[in-house]
Structure 1
Amino acid sequence: MNKQKMAKLVFAVACFSITKLHAQHSLSGQVRSDKNEVVPFAVIGIKDSQLSVTSNAEGKFNFRNLKPGTYILITRSLGYLDKTDTLIVNANSVFDPELAQSNKQLDEVIVNATRVDKNSGMAFSNLDAETLKKQNLGQDAPYMLNQLPSVVVNSDAGAGVGYTGLRIRGSDGTRINVTINGVPVNDAESQGTYFVNMPDFVSSTNNIQVQRGVGASSNGAGAFGASINFQTNELKDKPYANVISTAGSYDTYRNTLAAGTGLLNNKFTLDARASSITSNGYIDRARSNLQSYYLAAGYYGKKSVLKFINFLGQERTYQAWNYVDEDSIKKGNRTYNSCGEYYDANGKVHYYKNEVDNYKQNNFQLHFIHQVNSKFSFNITGHYTKGAGYYEQYKQGQDFADYNMETPTFYVNDSTNVVINSTDLIRRKWLDNDFAGGIFNLNYSATSKLAFTLGGGYNTYFGKHFGRVMWAQYASNSELDHEYYFETANKNDGNIYLKTNYKPMSNLNVFVDLQVRNVEHRFLGLNDSILFEIKPQTQSYTFFNPKVGVSYDVTSKLNVYASFAMANKEPNRNDFVQSTVKSRPKPEQLMDIEAGLKYQMKNIYAAANFYNMQYKDQLVLNGAINDVGAYNRVNVAKSFRRGVELELNANLGKYFAAGGNVALSQNKIEKFIEFIDSSDASYSVYTQYKKEYSNVDISFSTNIVSSIMLMIKPIKNMEITFINKYVGRQYLDNTANSKRSIDPYNVVDARFNYTIKTKLIPEIGFMFSIYNLLSAKYETNGYTFSYYTDTKLSTYNYKAPAAPLNFLGGISLKF
């Protein structure tokens, strides 16, 4: 063979090899129903990749440039069951997915309007029912979210039962929007969410989405750090029953009974759950007695769903919110609780047994969902929440004037008048409120490339605040249940938003979300023009909150995204009632830029999200006394949160899995002025000390938080999981003073889950968790205040210690 022929042969072989190496194929088809009807606008995705397409009006779809191999196709459409198919693609292929009709997917219409996906360009995490079940041993909902990026949890009682809370990116519960089935949950006045009022609610939850940053437009309080969206249990086709019992440290017990009829006559369903949780808590006397139930009744027609949901929570918890003074912690008395403490005439200390918080909250929701056709669906929801309760306190040395009681005069044997200026008493501070409203969303898919959601809602709140004296050492002129104050408040909150998804190319999506929100407060406030007379006042705001995002699939495995979102937030009740018009703080504004990438393979998921949250007029406490003598929040002109959130999860063969996340951030106030009360040594002259700071850390905003998980699967249906949580230093105020801070901590937990199936009982689940395996000594929350006497500064820190090594174990029986 001559050299010329040899060269041609080599060139031909090389070209053939390159062609085979880079062969790209297409996968096309038409989505049809089990009744052979075309299913338009179905979403067809490839598992373990970023690839997805939407079928057109004729149900047709097409994937291009697929490499040869095996693909798992997941097809979803409203009104149909999800379908999973495994295909081998080694040439241009045609496959027609067939979907079975079902109303189960219609339940998702309730939450879809306020949720985001990879096309939105925003940062989010999803937790499904199976993941929640493995963690749920009776602790409150915040602890179910503890492994998510940028999440830090806290507990008053020290072990996750009772009063708990969380911060996301350093933002506390008053800045986190919480919804259940799209219905706002945040308290209308304080804007916080009290998860203690919803004990064991996770047992009735199908999934949770946490959006970090501003997130998508939602109902209720504006999200200023994150949003948490709960979707309750989905339709179950078959009858079921589930019994769960857990027990553990600090006499913690949880019993749950859940049952459902399944789909009766292919149209009706009824689900119910009842739960009881009791615990003595790690902190002294920090006991909790929690009860709840959940009830859902539904009608599932061919294209419509009518669903009624009622859930109630009742809590009675011994107060532990004073926390433990730092001196006691240093001396080893980590469980000391000053709540309820008083002294008798001989100076002996006692603890009032009913220093409790007692509250009941009853929630009602009525959802109507209708799929008009393949392009158009809508949801209308009405809701009502009734809340009532009080906290009770034994108070010593109280001035009569503070309780609208006359100062009594007593006569001793020599007829000398003795004036009693103060008294011990027991008081109850009540909150009785009603919250009602309606929300809606209309979903329209114009084409396979263009979809709209129009939504909104209007909610009204009416609250009564009043205090009563239940007993007094010296009763003066008071009657039984003497009422010493009564205030009312009304808040109306309305919003409307339009969300648009546009897909100009198969791998490019543009998301636009425009919201207008109006808030009106009516309250009894102070008038600065007439000697601080208390009179009815009204304050209203109208906000425009635009958001835009873009998502681009670089390859089948790599997705990049970016978004910009603006949010505005009104002050809370205390900001209004503890100020005059002159000193009243302004609303806050947040501009949030997010950008990131996600990489998905069969056994590996990696993500990086970068954020820049720029605040204008953020509200903070600085110790200053305003014109009515109150320590009210004030606006700081400029502040920011900037950081990166990294995630990595991997399946390491048949027996191991590992994953985790780390968030690194800077959280700064550009200029901050601290005010500290000051007096002379004789306490006759009072003033305030003032100090200016620049570029200081925002309180409770750690620069690093991480969660690492290692799972071992020694046999089928058994998982042994080790979790390491690290939280960096958290400052108790905005001065970045390490002497007023919560030290960094590292906590290791271990969890065991094992499921077996028997003929008598279809599924038996065993659960066991050891928390704080290494008995680390750490605190999860706190507060601080300082005082100058002459030139001597005294600082007092109070913190919430967490429990050392403790455990919860349980068993679940499914029928």
Structure 2
Amino acid sequence: MTARGLLALATLSCVAVWALPAQDASQTAVLRGAVTNATGQPLAYAIVSIPALGLQQFSNNEGKFFFVRLTPGKYVVSVRQLGYAPQFKDIVLAPGANETIDVRMERIVTKLATMSVTGQWACNKPGRPMADSLRPLIEVFEQLEQNALRLKLLSEEYPFDFLAERKVVMLRADGSEFVDRFDTLRTLGSTSARYKPGSVVQRIRNPRIARAEYFLQVPTLLDFADPLFQNNHCFLLRGVATNGAKSEIRVDFLPSSKINSPDVGGSVFLEAGSFRLLRAEIYLTKIPASMEGLQGVRATTQFEDIVKGLPTIAEIIGRSDFTAVRGTLPYQHSIEHQKTLQVRFLKAKPAELPPHEHSATSNKPN
């Protein structure tokens, strides 16, 4: 049996939609509006939602949004945008009303120390950061979640798929190498294997090579907004560092010390100022004895925007290191490189659509 450092391609998830009976327009309401920054410039791709109705949409290139056939009542409208403090508006919708609201967003100003990485740390109290003493971490973590929620909404509003190239190179102990696998994969943006404690490594028998392989499920961006992932990991704000011309905010994560099976730890990096996700670096923890010969697995995921402020995976580079088993060392390393070649929107690109109708009669709260 040979342990292979193969990575599972990270994708997104989808959300079910329920159909409800149509309503008389005179008994429903319309809500429209615009999202701008502090100087009045429109903000595209802000997430505008009415949580009580389970409705949300992106603002368009002009910062505008539009909801129709809303049930009359009192609601809270929330507006979120990367790098801006969330805004909340209380509204009252009467039957037949056609309401307009304007939302002005203010930039987040978070004081972050220069990065200082010292010593080891342990995860004894996993969970989403909540304590007041962790305010800088909380603000940064909320922006990380916003990256995830924006990508989730993108996959729902504008379905897409992507074509990725995958290449696996094995390095022998004598320094020579060979290409073990080279292929392409086309995957829907609404497809995902989600994090589950104890299941980040899966053993699968490959009939092509007549042996078992191990697959590491690389955490997706959506996992960082998933309570299951949050409740099994601790998070630590390391501060700001310069990487070339960019200033990056680093947040480390570590699996709970109570998890005895393989899991993942690592770091995520956000662009200072915009809070746009740049990359994630992960490593495998607690490698079991059954994966004989495997010494370590690391992977780096690079993100790039599909449209401004909406990141998806650009490439994943994973490396597995091996040690001798019973005096033999067939391979020292394996390198897997997955690169996104094409992102294809199946209906239309976000920038091509005007404000479009979002109806309370076609959605149900999750």
**TM-score scaled by length of structure 1:** 0.26
Distance 2:78 2:331 in 1: 53
Aligned match of 1:208: 226
Distance 2:330 2:252 in 1: 32
Distance 1:83 1:453 in 2: 25
The alpha-carbon deviation at position 493 of structure 1 amounts to 1.8
Distance 1:87 1:445 in 2: 31
Alignment of 1:561-572 (within 5 A): none
Aligned match of 1:81: 85
The alpha-carbon deviation at position 379 of structure 1 amounts to 0.8
Q: Which runs of 5+ in 2 are unaligned?
A: 1-23, 109-138, 160-188, 205-211, 218-222
The alpha-carbon deviation at position 308 of structure 1 amounts to 4.5
The alpha-carbon deviation at position 442 of structure 1 amounts to 1.5
Relative distance call for 1:556 and 1:37 in structure 2 (3 A) is: same
Alignment of 1:346-365 (within 5 A): 363-365=265-267
Aligned match of 1:265: none
Native 8 Å contact 2:301 2:313 kept in 1: no
Native 8 Å contact 2:303 2:311 kept in 1: no
Aligned match of 2:103: 97
Relative distance call for 1:506 and 1:231 in structure 2 (3 A) is: farther
One-letter identity of the residue aligned with 1:459: G
Give secondary structure in 1 for the equivalent of 2:143: helix
Distance 1:101 1:43 in 2: 15
Distance 2:213 2:102 in 1: 53
1:461 aligns with 2:320: yes
Partner of residue 436 from structure 1, selected from 276, 298, 313: 298
Relative distance call for 1:457 and 1:113 in structure 2 (3 A) is: farther
The alpha-carbon deviation at position 36 of structure 1 amounts to 5.6
One-letter identity of the residue aligned with 2:302: F
Native 8 Å contact 1:78 1:106 kept in 2: yes
Relative distance call for 1:88 and 1:505 in structure 2 (3 A) is: same
Aligned match of 2:360: 556
Native 8 Å contact 1:299 1:305 kept in 2: yes
1:106 aligns with 2:5: no
The alpha-carbon deviation at position 307 of structure 1 amounts to 0.4
Distance 2:92 2:26 in 1: 17
Aligned match of 2:349: 502
**TM-score scaled by length of structure 2:** 0.52
1:379 aligns with 2:278: yes
Native 8 Å contact 2:295 2:323 kept in 1: yes
Distance 1:300 1:87 in 2: 42
Distance 2:216 2:308 in 1: 38
Give secondary structure in 2 for the equivalent of 1:108: helix
Aligned match of 2:61: 57
Distance 2:68 2:84 in 1: 26
Aligned match of 1:369: 271
Distance 2:74 2:194 in 1: 27
One-letter identity of the residue aligned with 1:460: R
Partner of residue 336 from structure 2, selected from 467, 489, 493: 493
Native 8 Å contact 1:76 1:82 kept in 2: yes
Aligned match of 1:635: none
One-letter identity of the residue aligned with 2:349: Y
Alignment of 1:264-663 (within 5 A): 295-299=236-240, 305-309=248-252, 311=254, 363-365=265-267, 367-369=269-271, 377=276, 379-385=278-284, 390=289, 430-445=292-307, 453=312, 455-467=314-326, 485-488=328-331, 490-497=333-340, 498-499=342-343, 500=345, 502-503=349-350, 504=353, 506=355, 555-559=359-363, 599-600=364-365
Relative distance call for 1:435 and 1:110 in structure 2 (3 A) is: farther
The alpha-carbon deviation at position 556 of structure 1 amounts to 1.6
Native 8 Å contact 2:202 2:214 kept in 1: no
The alpha-carbon deviation at position 43 of structure 1 amounts to 1.8
Paired-residue identity, %? 15
Relative distance call for 1:464 and 1:57 in structure 2 (3 A) is: same
Distance 2:84 2:103 in 1: 12
Give secondary structure in 2 for the equivalent of 1:190: strand
Relative distance call for 1:206 and 1:439 in structure 2 (3 A) is: closer
Q: Would you say how many aligned residue pairs link Structure 1 and Structure 2?
A: 260
One-letter identity of the residue aligned with 2:240: Y
Native 8 Å contact 2:297 2:319 kept in 1: yes
Relative distance call for 1:109 and 1:380 in structure 2 (3 A) is: farther
Relative distance call for 1:66 and 1:366 in structure 2 (3 A) is: closer
Distance 1:430 1:387 in 2: 13
Alignment of 1:657-736 (within 5 A): none
One-letter identity of the residue aligned with 2:250: K
Instruction: Provide Cα deviations, 1:377-405, integer angstroms capped at 9, x if missing partner.
Output: 551344455766647xxxxxxxxxxxxxx
Distance 1:386 1:165 in 2: 12
Native 8 Å contact 2:293 2:325 kept in 1: yes
Native 8 Å contact 1:370 1:378 kept in 2: no
Native 8 Å contact 2:262 2:284 kept in 1: no
Native 8 Å contact 1:30 1:97 kept in 2: yes
Distance 1:446 1:49 in 2: 27
Give secondary structure in 2 for the equivalent of 1:22: helix
One-letter identity of the residue aligned with 2:48: I
Distance 1:67 1:454 in 2: 38
Distance 1:112 1:88 in 2: 27
One-letter identity of the residue aligned with 1:461: S
Relative distance call for 1:39 and 1:506 in structure 2 (3 A) is: closer
One-letter identity of the residue aligned with 2:338: N
Give secondary structure in 2 for the equivalent of 1:95: strand
One-letter identity of the residue aligned with 1:75: V
Relative distance call for 1:122 and 1:316 in structure 2 (3 A) is: closer
Distance 2:56 2:152 in 1: 18
One-letter identity of the residue aligned with 1:190: Y
Relative distance call for 1:315 and 1:465 in structure 2 (3 A) is: farther
Alignment of 1:125-144 (within 5 A): 142=197
Native 8 Å contact 2:46 2:58 kept in 1: yes
The alpha-carbon deviation at position 44 of structure 1 amounts to 1.1
Give secondary structure in 2 for the equivalent of 1:40: coil
Higher strand proportion (structure 1 or 2): 1
One-letter identity of the residue aligned with 2:99: S
Distance 1:76 1:49 in 2: 17
Distance 1:465 1:315 in 2: 30
Relative distance call for 1:556 and 1:441 in structure 2 (3 A) is: same
Distance 1:86 1:37 in 2: 23
Relative distance call for 1:123 and 1:431 in structure 2 (3 A) is: closer
Asked which structure has the greater RCO (Cα within 8 Å, sep 6+), the reply is 2
One-letter identity of the residue aligned with 1:496: K
Aligned match of 1:190: 214
Distance 2:284 2:270 in 1: 18
Native 8 Å contact 2:60 2:355 kept in 1: no
Q: For the pair shown, which has the larger CA radius of gyration, 1 or 2?
A: 1
Instruction: Provide Cα deviations, 1:64-123, integer angstroms capped at 9, x if missing partner.
Output: 444543233121111123333220123322212243433634323765697565434847
Distance 1:122 1:110 in 2: 16
Distance 1:371 1:114 in 2: 19
Distance 1:370 1:494 in 2: 27
Distance 2:319 2:192 in 1: 29
Aligned match of 1:45: 49
- Name the Cα RMSD after superposition: 5.0
